[in-house]
Amino acid sequence: MTSLRIRFAAEQDVSLVLAFIRKLAEYEKLSHDVVVDEESLRASLFGATPAAEVLLAFIGDEPAGFAVYFRNFSTFLGRPGIYLEDLFVEPGLRGKGIGTALLVHLAKVCVERGYGRLNWAVLDWNQTAIDFYKRMGAVLLDQWTICRVSGHALKRLAERNVISSVTL
């Protein structure tokens, strides 16, 4: 038996976190969307105002998985929550309870901080993960669709001329 340890990532873990991000992107067939590098990741996660937190799971000394999350806010609840951006367990270590341990750890963070809920998105073909999440008590919000504006569309939107007054 080898012990499982979960801890927050520190600045010296940046290359490990980046490796996990790339592995998850590959699994999700989204590697072409990954532009992050060590420098930008270090600045975002360990700069003056960290944009997200990272949990790392280890089996003995072997990196086993990670979770990346950040704080969001629900106006309906009037309370912050957590948005889980990434969850990944090394292929050879899946089905042993590591993913569950990471999610339980995150739920504890949520509860301890008085947050209202834990949200995340999952690709519709990722049935293994969907089944896993349902077993964790997650409800699939089928009536919601994720929206995104990025790249040129984001720039165009930011540059759009808008009204400065309204005739009533």
Ligand X SMILES: CC(C)(COP(=O)(O)OP(=O)(O)OC[C@H]1O[C@@H](n2cnc3c(N)ncnc32)[C@H](O)[C@@H]1OP(=O)(O)O)[C@@H](O)C(=O)NCCC(=O)NCCS
Sign of the Cα torsion 121, 155, 50, 73 reads: negative
Interaction between residue 96 and ligand X (CB under 6 A): yes
Quote the CA–CA distance of 10 and 165 in Å, as a whole number. Answer: 49
Q: How far is the CB of 124 from ligand X (least distance, A)?
A: 11
Q: Please say if 133 is a catalytic residue.
A: yes
Q: Which helix (H) or strand (E) holds 82?
A: strand 79-89
**What are 63's strand-pairing partners?**
58
String of contacts with ligand X for each residue 117-136, x by CB under 6 A:
-----x---x-xx--x--x-
Could you say which of 97, 113, 127, 153 contacts ligand X (CB under 6 A)? 97
Interaction between residue 40 and ligand X (CB under 6 A): no
Question: Which span sits near ligand X by CB under 6 A: 42-50, 96-104, 139-147, 148-156?
Answer: 96-104
Interaction between residue 50 and ligand X (CB under 6 A): no
Q: Which residues contact 62 (CB under 8 A, 6 or more apart)?
A: none
| Whether the Cβ atoms of residue 63 and residue 7 lie closer than 8 Å to each other | no
Proportion of the chain in helix, strand, coil states, percent, rounded to 5? 40, 25, 40
For residues 16 and 122, which CB has a smaller minimum distance to ligand X in the complex? 122
- Residues lying near ligand X in the complex (CB under 6 A) are found at 24, 27, 87-89, 94-100, 122, 126, 128-129, 132, 135
